């Protein structure tokens, strides 16, 4: 079984080497013609690149050999059972756990607290984003089960976002739109997407390409809307105290 | 000390979800072998993420910042734009989230949309839009206009691209802005806008990540329009 885990590791190593080659070439170019770092610094950088190489390789191997097949199997088992609706609460739970733990969400929360001059409490914001993402993941599961077109979710979502953007203090807008990718970290793409794919493969009439992908986009909407909504509430409060 | 922080970060992001998934697996009575594989995979992912994040901090980000400063100090628009394009491209090729998503697209589409194709197209999209985002510093275009324009193009392309490129395209945009690309984009943007616009510099660098998500979406939807 341990052998199983290393299946295809050689291919992964080659892939990762190929993925890191372009960036290494650009670094080398800048080093030779522009930066001209001293030797000591170069050695440190090379060490960093080697660590990154092994990190990326182990990560991808773990995803390929462990996370993806299991996530898919789970999605398939749940999708074909008569209790496929269980996917919705499971999605909610997974969304919450993933977001609460995501480092970039914590960076976002700090940013918003600062932008509101401390008026938007960090903890309130964190919980709000978590609930937002949970609803998104649950919605993504529902979409696979019921075959709801991605349009029906994205269009209202973005219309609300752009309308809200008109009414929030200006400095909230770029923070909100940047936050879209904050909740879609490595765990979302690997485990949750794999579960969605498995379910889409098993449920009759679903095409994983059409009904499965789009999941991270629904997740990305959650922090955008949350930040805008909090910005909207904050803006109104600010006006009240001004007038 | 740095390493301790990184380990903590990774523990927080991996452990809760592993526990939930493990519980569901037991409830579903999946075969023992897959459960063992899952935990093995989790250990790999854990080690991988710790090493990756450490390596990026030690080896990549300092160089990224130096390159950013070096480009900006030259002050020539075409150098900034060209470098933005190239850096956006090469950094994104090494993005772990993109590697995973592209692999999944390859597998689900039965190889008709290959992994390499997705990675190259998405990275081209990021490169072009990162360059555009930097260009707006020179031309002083408000970010909201660029975002609205970008989404308008996305909307039109979505109408004409084949159905199976739609979800894939959107996901490519949000997934690619991961742990490798975002720090690079931010440090590049902060560097450029601090030199270009003397005031409101922090307002200027925001929005660059959002803009960079639009690039890959447009690129993949276009791929669908022409080759779908």
3-state DSSP call for residue A238? Answer: helix
Q: Are residues B85 and B195 located together in one domain of the fold?
A: yes
Chain B interface disruption, residue of A14, A63, A137, most B CBs within 10 A: A63
Alpha-carbon gap, residue B98 to B178, rounded angstroms: 8
- Chain B hits for A212, CB-CB cut-off 8 Å, are 108, 167
Min distance B20 CA to chain A CA atoms (Å): 7
| Mean pLDDT of all residues belonging to chain B | 86
Structure tokens at B193: 């806008």
Residue B138 lies in a domain: yes
Residue A100 lies in a domain: yes
Q: Are residues A209 and A140 located together in one domain of the fold?
A: yes
Q: CB distance B13–A51 less than 8 Å?
A: no
For residues B13 and A185, the answer to whether their CB atoms sit within 8 Å is yes
Q: Are residues A60 and A94 located together in one domain of the fold?
A: no
Q: Is the pLDDT of residue B201 over 60?
A: no
Q: Is the pLDDT of residue B118 over 90?
A: yes
Q: Are residues A142 and A57 located together in one domain of the fold?
A: no
Residue A203: burial class (beta carbons within 10 Å; 0-12, 13-18, 19+):
buried
Q: Which of B60, B84, B99 is the last residue of a domain?
A: B60
Q: Are residues B134 and B30 located together in one domain of the fold?
A: no
Alpha-carbon gap, residue B91 to B171, rounded angstroms: 18
pLDDT in tens, B162-193: 988 999 999 998 888 778 888 788 777 777 77
Q: What is the CA radius of gyration of chain A?
A: 22
Q: Which residue has the higher pLDDT, B34 or B1?
A: B34
Q: Which of A19, A40, A69 is the last residue of a domain?
A: A69
Alpha-carbon gap, residue B10 to B46, rounded angstroms: 7
DSSP state of B177: S
pLDDT value of residue B202 = 47
Residue B67 lies in a domain: no
DSSP state of A171: T
Q: Is the pLDDT of residue B203 over 70?
A: no
Residue A74 lies in a domain: no
Alpha-carbon gap, residue A152 to B47, rounded angstroms: 40
Q: Are residues B104 and B39 located together in one domain of the fold?
A: no
pLDDT value of residue A90 = 93
Q: Are residues A92 and A51 located together in one domain of the fold?
A: no
- Chain A residue closest in CA terms to B175: A184
Q: Are residues A86 and A188 located together in one domain of the fold?
A: yes
Q: Are residues A102 and A189 located together in one domain of the fold?
A: yes
pLDDT in tens, chain A (243 residues): 455 778 889 999 999 999 999 999 998 998 888 888 888 889 989 999 999 999 999 999 999 888 888 889 999 999 888 888 999 999 999 999 888 877 778 878 887 888 788 888 888 888 888 999 999 999 999 999 999 999 899 999 989 998 998 899 887 888 888 888 778 878 888 888 999 999 999 998 899 889 989 999 999 999 899 989 988 998 888 777 765
Q: Are residues B97 and B15 located together in one domain of the fold?
A: no
Contacts of B58 (CB under 8 A, 6+ apart): A44, A45, A47, A48, A51
Q: Are residues A36 and A89 located together in one domain of the fold?
A: no
Q: Are residues A4 and A65 located together in one domain of the fold?
A: yes
Q: Are residues B48 and B147 located together in one domain of the fold?
A: no
Residue A10 lies in a domain: yes
- Domain that residue A22 falls in: 1-69
Q: Is the pLDDT of residue B2 over 80?
A: no
Which among A20, A48, A58 is the nearest to B94, CB-wise? Answer: A20
Q: Are residues B104 and B47 located together in one domain of the fold?
A: no
Residue B55 lies in a domain: yes
Residue A113 lies in a domain: yes
Q: Are residues A148 and A237 located together in one domain of the fold?
A: yes
Q: Are residues B107 and B33 located together in one domain of the fold?
A: no
Q: Which of A44, A69, A94 is the last residue of a domain?
A: A69
Alpha-carbon gap, residue B214 to B219, rounded angstroms: 9
3-state DSSP call for residue B94? Answer: coil
Q: Are residues B78 and B177 located together in one domain of the fold?
A: yes
Q: Is the pLDDT of residue B209 over 90?
A: no
Q: CB distance B174–A216 less than 8 Å?
A: yes
Residue A17 lies in a domain: yes
Q: How far is CA A98 from CA B64, B153, B189, in A?
A: 29, 31, 28
Alpha-carbon gap, residue B140 to B142, rounded angstroms: 6
Dihedral (CA of A104, A107, A109, A115) sign = negative
Residue A30 lies in a domain: yes
Alpha-carbon gap, residue A211 to A208, rounded angstroms: 5
Residue B44 lies in a domain: yes
pLDDT value of residue A235 = 86
Q: Are residues B116 and B159 located together in one domain of the fold?
A: yes
Structure tokens at B84: 């933005």
Q: CB distance B13–A63 less than 8 Å?
A: no
Domain count, chain A: 2
pLDDT value of residue B186 = 76
Alpha-carbon gap, residue B161 to A80, rounded angstroms: 31
Which among A47, A187, A216 is the nearest to B171, CB-wise? Answer: A216
- Chain B hits for A210, CB-CB cut-off 8 Å, are 163-164, 166-167
- Domain that residue B137 falls in: 74-227
Residue B154 lies in a domain: yes
Q: Are residues B213 and B105 located together in one domain of the fold?
A: yes
Q: Are residues A44 and A156 located together in one domain of the fold?
A: no
Q: Are residues B114 and B204 located together in one domain of the fold?
A: yes
Contacts of B222 (CB under 8 A, 6+ apart): B157, B161
Tell me the pTM. 0.88
Q: Are residues A106 and A171 located together in one domain of the fold?
A: yes
- Chain A hits for B193, CB-CB cut-off 8 Å, are none
First CA to last CA across chain B, in angstroms?
Answer: 50
Structure tokens at A164: 């809200």
Q: Are residues A125 and A155 located together in one domain of the fold?
A: yes
Which among B24, B94, B168 is the nearest to A213, CB-wise? Answer: B168
Residue A75 lies in a domain: no
Structure tokens at A29: 């170019």
């Amino acid at each position: 079984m341990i052998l199983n885990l290393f299946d295809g590791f050689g291919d992964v190593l080659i892939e990762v080497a190929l993925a890191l080659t372009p960036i290494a070439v650009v670094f080398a170019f800048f080093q030779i013609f522009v930066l001209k770092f001293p030797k000591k610094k170069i050695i440190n950088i090379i060490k960093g690149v080697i660590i990154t190489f092994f990190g990326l390789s182990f990560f991808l191997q773990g995803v390929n050999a462990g996370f993806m097949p299991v996530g898919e199997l789970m999605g398939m088992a749940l999708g074909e059972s008569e209790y496929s609706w269980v996917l919705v609460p499971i999605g909610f739970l997974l969304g919450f756990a993933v977001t609460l733990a995501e480092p970039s969400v914590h960076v976002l929360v700090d940013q918003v607290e600062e932008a509101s001059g401390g008026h938007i409490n960090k903890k309130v914001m964190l919980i709000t984003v978590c609930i937002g993402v949970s609803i998104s993941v649950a919605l993504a599961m529902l979409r696979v089960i019921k075959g709801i077109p991605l349009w029906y979710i994205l269009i209202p979502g973005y219309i609300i976002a752009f309308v809200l953007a008109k009414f929030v203090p200006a400095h909230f807008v770029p923070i909100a739109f940047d936050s879209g990718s904050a909740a879609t970290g490595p765990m979302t793409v690997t485990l949750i997407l794999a579960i969605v794919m498995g379910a889409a493969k098993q449920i009759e009439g679903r095409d994983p390409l059409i009904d499965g992908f789009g999941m991270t986009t629904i997740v990305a909407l959650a922090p955008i809307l949350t930040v805008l909504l909090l910005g909207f509430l904050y803006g109104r409060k600010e006006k009240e105290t001004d007038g | 000390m740095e390493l301790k922080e990184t380990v903590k970060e990774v523990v927080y992001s991996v452990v809760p979800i592993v526990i939930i998934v493990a519980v569901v697996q037991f409830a579903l009575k999946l075969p023992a072998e897959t459960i063992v594989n899952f935990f093995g995979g989790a250990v790999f992912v854990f080690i991988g993420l710790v090493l990756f994040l450490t390596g990026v901090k030690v080896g990549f980000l300092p160089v990224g910042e130096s390159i950013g400063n070096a480009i900006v100090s030259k002050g020539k628009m075409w150098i900034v734009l060209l470098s933005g394009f190239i850096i956006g491209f090469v950094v994104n090729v090494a993005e772990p989230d993109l590697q995973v998503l592209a692999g999944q697209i390859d597998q689900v589409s039965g190889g008709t949309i290959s992994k390499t194709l997705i990675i190259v197209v998405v990275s081209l999209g990021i490169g072009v839009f990162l360059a555009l985002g930097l260009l707006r510093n020179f031309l002083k275009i408000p970010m909201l206009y660029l975002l609205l324009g970008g989404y308008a193009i996305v909307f039109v392309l979505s109408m004409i691209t084949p159905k199976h490129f739609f979800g894939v395209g959107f996901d490519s945009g949000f997934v690619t802005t991961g742990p490798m690309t975002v720090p690079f984009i931010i440090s590049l943007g902060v560097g450029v806008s601090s030199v270009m616009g003397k005031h409101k510099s922090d307002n200027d660098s925001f929005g660059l990540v959002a803009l960079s998500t639009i690039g890959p979406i447009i690129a993949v939807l276009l791929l669908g329009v022409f080759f779908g």
